[in-house]
Chain A
Amino acid sequence: MTTTQATVAEVRSEVRRFLADELAAGSFRPSCDAWIQGHSAEFSRRLGQRGWLGMTWPRRYGGGGRSALERFTVIEELLAAGAPVAAHWIADRQTGPLLLRSGTEQQKQRFLPLIAQGRLFIAAGMSEPDSGSDLASVRTRAVPTATGWRVNGRKVWTSHAHRSHFLLALVRTEARDDDRHAGLSQLLIGLDSPGVTVRTIGAMTGESHFTEVTLDDVDVPAEQVVGRAGDGWRGVVSELAHERSGPERYLSTFPLLTELVSGGATDGETSLADVGSATARLWALRSLSLQVQDLLERGQPTDTAAALVKDLGTRLEGDIIDITRRAAHRRPGRTGGAALSELLGAAQLAAPSFTLRGGTNEILRGLIARGLEA
């Protein structure tokens, strides 16, 4: 890695200054799980202006031409502060890199600069009512037309489709044969296209980022297929490696831990020991996550390592909640309580999703065990 420590330190203090100013201006309140729940198009645009989206992409596509380590530094600072980054999250984290790897020149020119400006948001359309863990069983179908594809089907649990511009949908373009992974494709579908209906679904956290997207005879131009038609599974797998290894997989409840240790609710040997043990695990996970970033950067396989980070990280996120409960004896509140109670309440309600989204821990552990055999 060529990035110098000095560069990283400079980036870090720049982000911290920015966040301090934003906090002072009241543009956000630190919250847990902000990379899913904290949706602010305005905030995303400000990050785009600073050059903090699409940071590692080539400059000719509107990217920053920066190193993976610099990007990592920016996103971990944002996550640690509980900043609202959900609007651009999926486009910046997975769709952009996918387009860079397998998109056409025209797609790169059309989409990447807008994503990097924080003006184009993309939702991930993988899951369906009958296809969760078993993604290859998707039934949404696209059939060829004179100008592209006609799509019919239903996607579900699609985060923020009601606030995004495109859906990257995994669809079946050829009938299933023995190889379940063949004949799938990824299409970028404009969410304002005729035939698209988006319904929001209430989550038990009290907000509604979940949606159900119904695709009813939706026409998608041929130039919006990402990668080769029929080769979509490969794209999904590479997207998932990006999706699973980042610092969002162990920092979702970090603002809670910050509040706990700064609020003096940690006296007593047990709670100090708990905080110490969480610190050690966080430290190790950050190091692991950095190693995976490095592998990704160098185009090395990372499926197993990314799954490992997600399994370890999401369990730590949940444990931080228990540690706080044990230390603070604070009734979790919804609103109007002390900062710690509110963060604790929100974190508890969000926690059941940590070990589901992006692949359940059971599926991930299967992947890890098989990866060790390979």
Chain B
Amino acid sequence: MSATAELSGTSGGEERELLRTTMAALLARHTAHAPEERAGSTADLWALLEESGMTLVSVPESAGGSGGELGDFAALAQTCGYHAASVPLVETTMLAGWALAAAGLTVPVGPLTVAPPTATATAALVPDGTGLRVHGQLCAVPWARATRHVVLLIALPGEPNGVVLAVIDPHDCVVEHGANLAGEPRDTLVLPAGGVACARLPAGGPDPFALTLRGALGRALLIVGSLRRVLDLTVRHAREREQFGRPINRFQAVQQQIAALAGAVEQAAAMAGLAVAVLDRGDAGSEAVMAAKICAAQAASVAITVGHQVHGAIGFTTEHELHLHTRRLMSWRDEYGDESEWSAELGARVANAGPGGLWNLLTTPPPAEARR
């Protein structure tokens, strides 16, 4: 499947591989039959995934999930990216499912989403008797119109570690449709006039920053999957397209670009894999996640440039598959923090880590241990 097969099949055991191939088969069959789903409607594909038990992998069984590690889910997320599948899988499992489970709640069935912490800037917490209610609106909530519940986490102002959680039914809100460059729903939810009740979470529960990090990693995983598809498409096109009487992959200028693309893809995949392993081991892993999102976004930019350059004009049309990936890569590289925001944050942490801090960061734990 991949032009860089030597490097790709590294992580996970047989079970994970089975999960990956099952998912790939489902998506390949579905997207061939219903190409319009990739433009934004999700219901059929979601039903198929739910039936096959693919939607709550890595969410603990105690919370109603199917169990397994984040690494298992990562394989599924990358497969979704590879097939440009239009489903809120990352939102449901890795974000909403995780947040609810970490708060000790049961995860309801059906597609879910979260309000990214940046989306809550236009909402306000208002005291209500002994509790709190959230008022206002939530901007650019991924997939809101296609989900049953929106999970919201907000830090309590002036209370370190204080967090409230609300579960919002989009049907109670006015949903203003919006979209990212790929046409994926990024809707604005106008909350009901009386606001929505929030519950204060016990200490040690999920918090907005952890959610942002998981969002960033989720986008990195989707990006890595999409990158692999762009690489495959590009390698194939360069082999098949002839100009000046030979395949264009025989021109050095083209070879150089494909090599650069392959390098960027492997770099992004390695860092995403490492970040997933760190989280699976139970470490906070903030820095590894930042590095994963940085590498993924950088590789996305390389893939957009090289993929299109090698495909020539055909790749610029909607009749070719490439644009489905390009437009997703353009969107995902910016969501949950773009590479320059995370680079600034990571740089600041490294600069503040004192002598030996940088090397310690890179070597704890050794990558082999991280993978067990």
A residues with a Cβ closer than 8 A to B are: 127, 130-134, 137, 156-157, 201-204, 210, 270, 318, 322, 325-326, 329, 331-334, 336, 345, 348-349, 351-353, 355-357, 360-362, 365-366
Contact = CB atoms under 8 A, between A and B. Distances in A.
A353 B253 contact: no
**Interface core residue of A331, A336, A349 (most chain B CB under 10 Å):** A331
Contact of B301 (A156, A322, A334): A322
A71 to B, nearest CB: 29
A203 B243 contact: no
Nearest to A365: B253
A334 B181 contact: yes
A336 B316 contact: no
B340 A329 contact: yes
Nearest to B297: A325
**Interface core residue of B243, B244, B326, B338 (most chain A CB under 10 Å):** B243
Contacts of B317: 201-204, 210
B280 interface: no
A145 B59 CA distance: 75
Interface string B174-192: 0000111100001000000
A204 B327 contact: yes
Nearest to B243: A134
A245 to B, nearest CB: 21
Nearest to A271: B340
Contacts of B254: 362
11 contacts: A127-B313, A133-B244, A134-B244, A156-B313, A202-B317, A204-B318, A333-B178, A352-B315, A356-B309, A357-B313, A360-B312
Interface in B176-220: 178-181, 186
A351 B334 CA distance: 17
B134 to A, nearest CB: 22
Given A329-B341, A349-B327, A334 B244 contact: no
B312 A325 contact: no
Contact of A204 (B186, B309, B316): B316
Given A326-B340, A331-B140, A202 B179 contact: no
Query: What 6 A-B pairs are tightest by C-beta distance, nearest first?
Result: A352-B308, A204-B323, A202-B318, A362-B253, A134-B243, A157-B313
A336 B178 CA distance: 9
B338 A325 contact: yes
A334 B327 CA distance: 11
A332 B309 contact: no
Nearest to B313: A157
A203 B305 CA distance: 16
B334 A331 contact: yes
Nearest to A353: B316
Interface of B: 140, 178-181, 186, 242-245, 251, 253-254, 301, 304-305, 308-309, 312-313, 315-319, 322-323, 326-327, 330-331, 334-335, 338, 340-341
A156 to B, nearest CB: 8
A346 to B, nearest CB: 9
Contact of A133 (B243, B301, B319, B341): B243
A204 B340 contact: no
Contacts of B186: 331
Given A204-B322, A204-B323, A333-B181, 18 more contacts: A132-B313, A134-B244, A201-B319, A203-B317, A204-B318, A204-B327, A210-B316, A329-B340, A331-B186, A331-B334, A331-B335, A332-B330, A336-B178, A352-B304, A352-B308, A353-B316, A356-B316, A366-B253
Nearest to A268: B344
Contacts of B140: 331
A366 B304 CA distance: 23
Contact of A356 (B181, B308, B319): B308
Contacts of A133: 243-244, 312
Nearest to B248: A133
B318 A203 contact: yes
A204 B324 CA distance: 9
A202 B319 contact: yes
A244 B55 CA distance: 52
Nearest to A325: B338
A210 B315 CA distance: 12
Contact of A332 (B181, B304, B315): B181
B50 to A, nearest CB: 29
Contact of A329 (B179, B243, B313, B338): B338
B15 to A, nearest CB: 37
Contacts of A201: 317-319
Nearest to A206: B318
Contact of B334 (A204, A332, A366): A332
B71 to A, nearest CB: 29
Contacts of B251: 362
A372 to B, nearest CB: 16
Contacts of B245: 134
A130 B317 CA distance: 16
A361 to B, nearest CB: 7
Contacts of B327: 204, 349
A137 B242 CA distance: 11
Nearest to A270: B340
B264 to A, nearest CB: 15
Contacts of A130: 242
A352 B335 contact: no
Contact of B309 (A270, A329, A355): A355
B40 to A, nearest CB: 13
A329 B342 CA distance: 11
A203 B308 CA distance: 13
A84 B335 CA distance: 32
Contacts of A131: 243
Contacts of A352: 304-305, 308-309, 315-316, 326
A335 to B, nearest CB: 9
A86 B341 CA distance: 37
Contacts of A348: 181, 330
Contacts of B331: 331-332
Contacts of A202: 317-319
B331 to A, nearest CB: 7
Contacts of B340: 270, 325-326, 329
